[in-house]
Every structure is written in structure tokens, then in C-alpha cells.
Amino acid sequence: MKLYNIKENDEQVSFGQAVKQGLGRNQGLFFPSELPAFDDVDALLEKDFVSRSTDILSAFIGDELPQETVRSMVENAFQFPAKVEKVTDSVSALELFHGPTLAFKDFGGRFMAQSLAAVSDGGKVTILTATSGDTGAAVAHAFYGMENINVVILYPKGKISPLQEKLFCTLGGNIHTVAVNGTFDDCQTMVKQAFDDAELRQAIGLNSANSINISRLMAQICYYFEAASQLTPEQRENLVISVPSGNFGNLTAGLLAKAIGLPIKRFIAATNVNDTVPRYLKTGEWTPTPTIPTLSNAMDVSQPNNWPRIEELCQRKGWGLNELASGAVTDKETAETLKAMFDAGYLCEPHGAIAYRLLEEQLQDGEYGLFLCTAHPAKFKESVDDILGQDIPLPGPLAKHAVMELLSSERDADFAQIRAYLMEVAG
Ligand SMILES: Cc1ncc(COP(=O)(O)O)c(C=O)c1O
């Protein structure tokens, strides 16, 4: 597999290099030079999740890894289902929260851990990642206890749900967590600064597990196909998918699924009031504003990392950005929607509710809608309980971590402090 840096096209890397390096020169994202094409998608959809995902990922990776290796990576990573659940006659939920940390990030995080192990030369690796909530848990659990790998996770102090925090800040061992006095965007900026620091990069074998790592996105492509395989041919015919978006990794993966052959009529980029992308799609002006805290905190991102990949893909495929639908939902509307969904028999959480609301608003006659449920409702128990006036039960993994002690360090949003911390734990 060959990939190029979309900012500096002459930087070309293999899958292994892209996985190890994460980000290219000048903070450029890697993008596949060639996209596979699946002509007989119906045959692909007939296969089981692991076999189909192996076919898809092998088609991307090419001869760099034998197909049997890719198959065992997929078997190890995807040990839980991506389930389609009917919500109304014309809308289903794609539940991506049946993995160990109850969020869609389990697919990408675990496949990235497998990829890194498959391409590793045994040297020291430090995974540095910023999280607005769920990436941290998925990455921490995927890499916990792996030899020669230290994981450092930055998150905005007080801006992720207490249960989310418990899920990844209680592991210890090779997992180091830092509560940053700042926003998610601050955390993300410091990760980028670390990548720009050649000396640090070398000293600690820096890598990132954010959705900038191509292996995570590749894994996410597979569940769009899995969702389609659970729909009827009629439902697939006019399929509209609404994606709750923050850093836009999930939407990038969906668009890649479409690019390699999955017939999807339209995507909806669904955000909260941190709506840089919906505004950009309307006005053509990219004007990020300061991040606003919302109920859907994992989407409190105003400078989405993956957006350049979406532009690159659209340009390569000749898709106009105006084909991408979008919308932004306020907290009040999110709460109303969550309540209405619950009253109609479906328990959701704020991120999924945003995607559902925009889908309901924008779905046309004859279309079938799918919205992504990116986290288990119990991960946002405080707000979900509050909105619904319920006490929703905690599933096993959350109940276990909820009573464990937090092990995080605290730092300011100051790169010098983070650099010193990285050298201390991983240098
Ligand atoms: C629950 C949840 N929903 C949606 C998102 C947004 O996904 P993306 O960053 O791929 O747009 C996140 C990201 O952290 C998340 O944790």
C-alpha cells in the first residue's frame, strides 16, 4: 500500500510507515495513493464480518502483509458486533458500542494496536493521543499491557464525562493519562506540536492513535459495509447515513466506504453547535470559533483534524462538497430528541441523538436512514439520566471502572510542560 502526505505530496510512505509515523511532514495527513474498487458489492455483503473486513483491508494493504496476517488482525480486533437496530419504519441505528470500551473507537483503536504489532521492528514506541472522551478509553484498552509501548493520553480536565474518565484513567501500567487545564483543541494542538519536535519524536518513538492514524480509519470503513449487509436490498437502494461528527474520522471512513463501492446515496455531517463544517458547507468560509462545551462533549471540536482528508477524497472522486448534507443541533434540541426517542422506545445518548434528529429532518420519501450510535448511553449516564429522569444501569466494564481510583496527572495547556512529562514517562 502506498500513501502520500496530502500537504507535501512528495512524501510517500508504506502502510507500515504510515501506521508507525501517524502524521507526515508539516503535520500532513496520509492518504492512500490508490483506492481499491469492489465491483461485486453484493457478493462482498454476503460474507461474514471478519471475512468481508479481511477482504476490504487486504485490498487496501496489498502485498505488504499476507492475507492470513490481516485476517488474524481482524479476528483479534473485531471481537464484537456492529449491530443494526430498527428505530422507526424508515430509520435504523448502527450501534457501534458493543466493544470493551462501549464506543465506536474500539474498532479503530484495536485494529491500530494489531497493525502496529504487525509492522513493528521491536523499537520503543510512545503513543500520544488527545481525546475528547472515547478515543482515550479505546486506545488505552487496546494497548494496555503491550510490550515496548507507552501510551500518553491528554484530555481536557472537567470536560469529559466522569465515567469516560474512569474508563481510561484507572489502568496504570503503560497507560499514562494527563488532565489538561484547557480544551480538547488545546490537547490536539499539543499533540501536533510534539510531532513537529523532531528531537522529541526520535527520543520517545512518537506515534499517534488519533483518527489521524490511517489504520483506524481503515478499520472504520468495515462497519459501514457490515451495516449495509444487515439491511434489505430495498433499504440499501436509497440509503442516507447520518454521522455524528467531531474530528470527522467517522465520516471520512464512510466516504471511503462509498468511494470503494458501497452504494450510499447521501451522508449527513451532523454536529453540535461547534459547527465549523456545516457553516463552511453553507458559506464556503472556514471560520473556526472557540470551542463551546455541549452535552455531546466528544464532538466539541471546532478544528476537525480529518477534514482535509474529506476534501482530498471529494476532489479525487470529483464529488462536489455540496453533495454532503449537514446540520448543527443545540443542546436543547439534543435533549428534546433524546427524550422523544426514549418515549418511542429507543434509549440513545446525545451524540447519536444529534445524528438521529438531522436524519429525521432531512430524510425524504422513499429513502432509508441509518444513524450511527457511537457510544453506549451509559457512557453519558449523568446527562442521559438527567434528561430522561431515569437511572440507567451501568454495563459491566463501566461498573468495574467506576469504583477505581483515578491515576491522572494534571498539566496546563503548555507544550513545555507536556514535553517534560513525555520525556519523564517515555524518554
Ligand atoms: C461518542 C462519540 N461520538 C462521535 C464522535 C465524533 O467522531 P469523529 O471524531 O470521528 O467525528 C466521537 C469522537 O470522539 C465520540 O466519542
- pTM for the structure as a whole: 0.91
What is the CATH classification number for the domain harbouring 382?
3.40.50.1100
Q: Ligand 1 pocket: which residues have CB below 6 Å?
A: 103, 132-135, 211, 244-250, 298-299, 351, 374-375
Any idea what DSSP says for residue 303?
S
Measure 301 CA to ligand 1 centroid, in angstroms. Answer: 10
Contact 183, 166 (CB under 8 A): no
- On average, the pLDDT of the chain sits at 94
Domain annotation covers residue 29:
no
Contacts of 332 (CB under 8 A, 6+ apart): none
pLDDT tens string 271-280 = 999 999 999 9
Per-residue pLDDT, 162: 87
Contact 142, 113 (CB under 8 A): yes
Domain annotation covers residue 65:
no
Select from 382, 367, 369, 296 the least CA-distant residue to 331. Answer: 296
Percent of the chain scored above 90 by pLDDT?
Answer: 84
Distance CA 357, CA 68 (A): 42
Domain annotation covers residue 384:
yes
Candidate from 13-17, 22-26, 329-333 with smallest mean pLDDT = 22-26
Domain annotation covers residue 235:
yes
The residue contributing the CA closest to ligand 1 atom 9 is 247
Mean pLDDT for the stretch of residues 236-245: 97
Per-residue pLDDT, 181: 97
Measure 223 CA to ligand 1 centroid, in angstroms. Answer: 15
Domain annotation covers residue 225:
yes
Measure 247 CA to ligand 1 centroid, in angstroms. Answer: 7
How far from 46 is each of 43, 67, 76, 99, 229, CA to CA, in Å? Answer: 5, 19, 21, 23, 7
Q: Is the pLDDT of residue 257 over 70?
A: yes
Per-residue pLDDT, 211: 65
pLDDT tens string 184-218 = 999 999 998 998 899 999 899 888 776 688 999 99
Contact 355, 372 (CB under 8 A): yes
Domain annotation covers residue 383:
yes
Domain annotation covers residue 115:
no
Measure 21 CA to ligand 1 centroid, in angstroms. Answer: 22
The count of structural domains within the chain is 1
Distance CA 142, CA 129 (A): 13
Mean pLDDT for the stretch of residues 413-426: 95
Domain annotation covers residue 243:
yes
Which residues span the domain enclosing 258? 81-100+214-392
**Higher-pLDDT residue of 240, 135:** 240
Query: Which of 131, 153, 250 should be mutated for ligand 1, with most atoms under 8 A from CB?
Result: 250
Mean pLDDT for the stretch of residues 355-366: 98
